[in-house]
Amino acid sequence: GAVVSQHPSWVICKSGTSVKIECRSLDFQATTMFWYRQFPKQSLMLMATSNEGSKATYEQGVEKDKFLINHASLTLSTLTVTSAHPEDSSFYICSARDIAGTVTDTQYFGPGTRLTVL
Amino acid sequence: AQKITQTQPGMFVQEKEAVTLDCTYDTSDPSYGLFWYKQPSSGEMIFLIYQGSYDQQNATEGRYSLNFQKARKSANLVISASQLGDSAMYFCAMREVGYTGANSKLTFGKGITLSVRP
């Protein structure tokens, strides 16, 4: 299957700093990438949808200025957690689709990034 | 109403036995796709199987099969000959055609934890 990579796999940072997470589709072009957040033993919560070359669409309740998303190319999307606080500590997962617009597209997920804010 | 319902809090199965993980869904769209993902303790979401709403036959992928009962709006995952490596969290998800285009998104259930006993 298609491969999606995420970097870093884990990060620890101090409160108030910013953290950037990269998501890459390795063997396909992803016109659309999704960013999720997951708390322990819970389901994935969609944060935003990013399309290459355009602004991301954020889900209700997700702060746009807090979670900056950039989808600069067909293989790379980045999530920047700005001025991180302990409550931002979570598991962040990106996902990509290699064909846009059909209900049958399989969505492939990255391995996730565990963020811990001290 | 929840779009994807997974009510089993946790499942236990003996190694080499079959197990069924339940999933019911709610949609008014005639065209939709149903997905199952596995999430082991490492956190990576692994795509297992897909069923389209117009598919006449139940999907199968190796030891995984999907018991699709459209009238009952259920899409249960059957794992045959369970292995210790099957211990993980399993998520059912749906994509509706009403969200066509690049931004169509998956809706996830809460997940089911499966533990395989030796």
pLDDT tens for residues B32-88?
A: 889 999 999 999 999 999 999 999 899 999 999 999 999 999 999 999 999 999 999
CA–CA gap between residue A88 and residue A80 (Å, rounded): 12
CA atoms within 13 A on the CB side of A1: 15
Question: For chain A, what percent of residues have pLDDT higher than 70?
Answer: 92
> Would you state the pLDDT for residue A99?
59
Q: What is the mean pLDDT of chain A?
A: 89
- Nearest-CA distance from B19 to chain A in Å? 21
CA–CA gap between residue A110 and residue A23 (Å, rounded): 7
Could you tell me the two tokens for B93?
């998800």
Put simply, the answer to whether B104 touches A112 (Cβ < 8 Å) is no
Residue in B closest to A31 by C-alpha: B102
Is it the case that residue A101 has pLDDT exceeding 50?
A: no
- Nearest-CA distance from A72 to chain B in Å? 16
Tell me which chain A residues have a C-beta less than 8 angstroms from the C-beta of B49.
none
- Between A69 and A53, whose confidence is greater? A69
Instruction: Give residue for tokens 């999704």.
Output: A34
CA–CA gap between residue A101 and residue B12 (Å, rounded): 38
| CB B30, CB B23: distance < 8 Å | no
| CB B60, CB B78: distance < 8 Å | no
CA atoms within 13 A on the CB side of A103: 20
For range A30-49, the mean pLDDT: 91
Q: Is B33 on the interface with A (CB under 8 A)?
A: yes
- Between B101 and B35, whose confidence is greater? B35
pLDDT band at B30 (very low <50, low <70, confident <90, very high): confident
* E strands, B4-110, in order: 4-5, 10-14, 19-21, 24-25, 32-39, 46-52, 60-61, 64-69, 74-79, 88-96, 107-108
